Chains A and B, each alone.
Chain A
């Protein structure tokens, strides 16, 4: 039951900045995920929390106590590795018992606890097997049991599922969530898989090139991305370059809007709060939020865009289009019954109604 704080945590390897001033405040019992592409620093950050990597600068605190200099074996953490890392020379039971044995726990206590753990992961009859004899999913479950046997106060997960196949991943991620809920321990999970992060986290930290780009719930990240990277990384998103031409305040309690001119398009999207008229921005609209209207001349409304269908592909549940809107390629997907008529028809000129547009400052200083 631990509150974990990262304060301006930095890691430098020679001249490379792997982790750049990462700060986070994780409440007791929270399940957070560090989400990002390979090399974004999420694993390095996790390993610093684990104590396997020294910090170049910054602090890490558990329950208010600075633990920078505390070696890993005294931090009372649990770490689940990508490669399960079960000791090949020990049986399943001995693996699970390892953390207790090194602490000098009594034999009786160890036996009891191991049985408890085996029961929890439903592998009691495999106690004496060697790791090599188990399937990938079973191995990872034993790794989880081993981690939990010592009753750590923080759970750390380093992409534990990426080595497994799709089906296994889907079931196991809920097991992990379930375990965390039941034990109520603070958990930090690292992955590059957005759907995994979305399925199990209370909060997500999106990381890129050593920095946290945005922190929030799934809804925040998906619906209100704050940076170009976040908008593009999580789910597909169209990025349209433009310039702010007007700021429209919203009703009290409602978010404000901005008007953006992008080429021949007039777009109205959510006000990010940090733009003025004349600023260069990126307007983001997700393909699933675009309505394809086949006929009629559009009124001169914001978010109605005229274009020509360049490409149309039937994907099964959806139809994917690429529409050329005055030189800007816009990706749209259409589901439901209506998608079939899209396919059927000959004429290429369409009108797109863009919805749920988010606006982000186009800051060349922040390299994407």
Chain B
């Protein structure tokens, strides 16, 4: 090896030179990058919601609001519209449970047995295009002279009585949130080693026992997550009850908000209904976030 003696005498000035920072610290730059998003969120999400709260405490139905605040709207909501709230919660809960009952086997089969998952996934995007089309299509199917009419008469089912019924609304709601349930349960199930089921089988467990003792407990987090997700989403349902439901189903909060607000111009009441719905939806979200964090061990 060539040059470089073993010892090099180093001469240098007092090396105390500070490194000058670039114009903006990472923190400031980060803030600037985030600013547009935060501004948009504040302007069009947070402020309107706050304003909604404010309006819900006023009682004017014309274009000028009095400065008088009153809880009158809420009194009305919790008396006259109590059944509406109940109906909303009932429909959301019932459809979520339906999703669980039908979605669990679906998810299980999908995870364990099906090879053509891509196809299934593609097909499952259909409901996600919107409950409107779902309701729409279901309406056609339920029409007496609709495309499936002959099949129904062949099966002896009087299809017309399902039009504008709770069953139709529940069914269409369940179909819409079905993919959400399947995905949550699927995710939880895919973490369950198939060998556990085999072990249970070799130990003599019957299928039902394997389910209750092994699968169900281990996929519990997925079940809860799925239920909460479907429930929260279905609280705000509009299209299905509107198109497929009887007046009872049409009393759900979203529809009420529209009628009171944009048809009857009773903004205060509509706002109050909105706040109640919002609080319910946030509560569900908060619970599910707490739950998932807890399940993950925080």
Which A residues are within 8 Å of any B CB, using their own CB? 5, 7-8, 23, 25, 27, 30, 32, 54-59, 66, 68-69, 201-203, 215-218, 220
With an 8 A cutoff between CB atoms, is B17 at the interface? Answer: yes
Residue of A nearest to B2 (CB): A202
A317 to B46, CA, bound (A): 77
Interface check B40, CB cutoff 8 A: no
- What string of 1s and 0s marks CB contacts (under 8 Å) between B7-30 and chain A? 110101101111110000000000
The contact of B3 among A30, A69, A218, by CB within 8 Å, is A30
Contacts of B119 in A (CB 8 A): none
Partner of B19 from A55, A201, A203 at Cβ < 8 Å: A55
Q: Does B151 count as interface, using CB distance less than 8 angstroms?
A: no
Residue contact B1 to A57, C-beta cutoff 8 Å: no
Partner of B17, one of A59, A216, A217: A59
Does the CB pair B16–A69 fall under 8 Å? no
B18 neighbours in A (Cβ, 8 Å): 57
Query: Contact check: which of B6, B19, B20 meets A56 at CB < 8 Å?
Result: B19
Contact present for B4 and A30 (CB under 8 Å): yes
Given A7-B12, A8-B12, A23-B12, CB of A217 within 8 Å of CB of B1 = yes
**21 chain-A/chain-B pairs, Cβ below 8 angstroms:** A5-B12, A7-B12, A8-B15, A23-B10, A23-B12, A25-B8, A55-B19, A56-B19, A57-B15, A57-B17, A66-B17, A68-B17, A68-B19, A201-B1, A202-B2, A202-B3, A202-B4, A217-B4, A217-B6, A218-B1, A220-B6
Q: Give every chain A residue within 8 A of B8 (Cβ-Cβ).
A: 25, 215
**A57-B15, A203-B1 known, 19 other contacts, Cβ within 8 Å:** A7-B13, A8-B12, A8-B15, A23-B12, A25-B8, A25-B10, A30-B4, A54-B19, A55-B19, A59-B12, A59-B15, A59-B17, A68-B17, A68-B19, A69-B20, A201-B1, A202-B3, A202-B4, A203-B4
A54 and B10 CA atoms in complex are apart in Å by 23
Q: Which residues of B contact A66 (CB under 8 A)?
A: 17
A-chain residues with CB within 8 Å of residue B12 when the two chains form the complex? 5, 7-8, 23, 59
Cross-chain pair count, CB within 8 angstroms: 52
Closest to B18 in A: A57
Determine the distance from Cα of A203 to Cα of B13 in the docked complex, in whole angstroms.
Answer: 24
The 9 closest A-B pairs by CB, nearest first: A8-B15, A7-B15, A7-B12, A216-B6, A203-B4, A202-B1, A220-B6, A55-B19, A59-B15
Nearest residue, chain B, Cβ from A57: B16
User: What is the CB-to-nearest-CB distance from B104 to chain A, in angstroms, rounded to a whole number?
Assistant: 40
- Please give the residue numbers on chain B whose beta carbons come within 8 Å of chain A beta carbons, in ascending order: 1-4, 6-8, 10, 12-13, 15-20
B contacts with A: majority SS: loop
Query: Roughly how many angstroms separate A56 CA and B21 CA in the complex, as a whole number?
Result: 11
Of the listed residues B6, B16, B20, the one surrounded by the most CB atoms of chain A closer than 10 A to its CB is B6
B19 in contact with A27 (CB, 8 Å): no
Chain A residues with CB under 8 A of B20: 69
CA distance A78 to B30 in the complex (A): 29
Chain B residues, CB < 8 A from A201? 1
Distance between B156 CB and nearest chain A CB, rounded to angstroms: 61
Least CB distance from B36 to A in Å reads 26
Inter-chain CA distance A171–B4, complex, in Å, is 26
Query: What residues of A have a CB within 8 angstroms of the CB of B4 in the complex?
Result: 27, 30, 32, 202-203, 217
Question: Bound state CA distance, A56 and B18, in angstroms?
Answer: 7
Docked CA distance A248–B16 (Å) = 42
Contact between chains at A27 and B3 (CB < 8 Å): yes
- Give every chain B residue within 8 A of A23 (Cβ-Cβ): 10, 12
- Residues of B within 8 Å of A56, CB to CB, are 19
| Complex contacts, B2 vs chain A, CB 8 Å | 202
Cα distance A30–B144 in the bound complex, in angstroms: 90
Q: Which residue of B lies closest to A31 (CB)?
A: B1
Q: Which residue of A lies closest to B13 (CB)?
A: A7
Q: Which residue of A lies closest to B20 (CB)?
A: A69
Find chain A residues with CB under 8 A from B10 CB: 5, 7, 23, 25
Which residues of B are found within 8 Å of A216, using beta-carbon distances? Answer: 6-7
The smallest beta-carbon distance between A3 and chain B, in angstroms, is 12
What is the CA–CA distance of A336 and B244 in the complex, to the nearest angstrom? 95
How near does chain B come to A61, taking the closest CB pair, in angstroms?
A: 9
Contact residues in B for A57 (Cβ distance below 8 Å):
15-19
Question: CB-CB < 8 A to B6: which residues of A?
Answer: 215-217, 220
CB distance from B38 to the nearest CB of A (A): 28
Which of B1, B3, B17 is the one whose CB lies under 8 Å from A58?
B17
Q: Could you say which residues of chain B place their CB within 8 Å of the CB of A203?
A: 1, 4
| CB-defined contacts of B19 to chain A, threshold 8 Å | 54-57, 68-69
In the assembled complex, the Cα of A216 lies from the Cα of B4 at a distance in Å of: 8
Q: How far is the CA of A203 from the CA of B2 in the complex (A)?
A: 9
User: In the bound complex, how far is the Cα of B8 from the Cα of A218, in angstroms?
Assistant: 16
Give chain B residues whose Cβ lies under 8 Å from the Cβ of A215.
Answer: 6-8
Residue in B closest to A8 when the chains form the complex, CB atoms: B15
Instruction: Name the distance in Å between B222's Cβ and chain A's nearest Cβ.
Output: 34
Give the distance to chain A from B21, nearest Cβ to Cβ, in Å: 8
**Across-interface contacts of A59 in B (CB, < 8 A):** 12, 15, 17
What's the minimum C-beta distance from A72 to chain B, rounded to whole angstroms? 13
* Closest Cβ neighbor of B12 among chain A residues: A7
Q: Could you tell me the distance between the alpha carbons of A217 and B5 in the complex, rounded to whole angstroms?
A: 8
Q: Which residue of B lies closest to A201 (CB)?
A: B1
Q: Given the complex of chains A and B, what is the CA–CA distance between A32 and B4 in angstroms?
A: 10
Interface-centre pick from B3, B7, B19, B20 (highest chain A CB count, 10 A): B19
Once bound together, how far apart are the Cα atoms of A348 and B270, in whole Å? Answer: 99
Within 8 Å CB of A68, what residues of B? 17, 19
* A residues less than 8 Å from B3 (CB atoms): 27, 30, 202
The docked-state distance in angstroms from the alpha carbon of A278 to that of B43 is 79
Rounded to whole angstroms, the CA-CA distance of A220 and B18 in the bound complex is 35
Measured between C-beta atoms, what is the minimum distance from B23 to chain A in Å?
A: 12
Q: Which residues of B sit under 8 angstroms from A32, Cβ to Cβ?
A: 4
* Most A CB within 10 A of own CB, among B3, B13, B17: B17
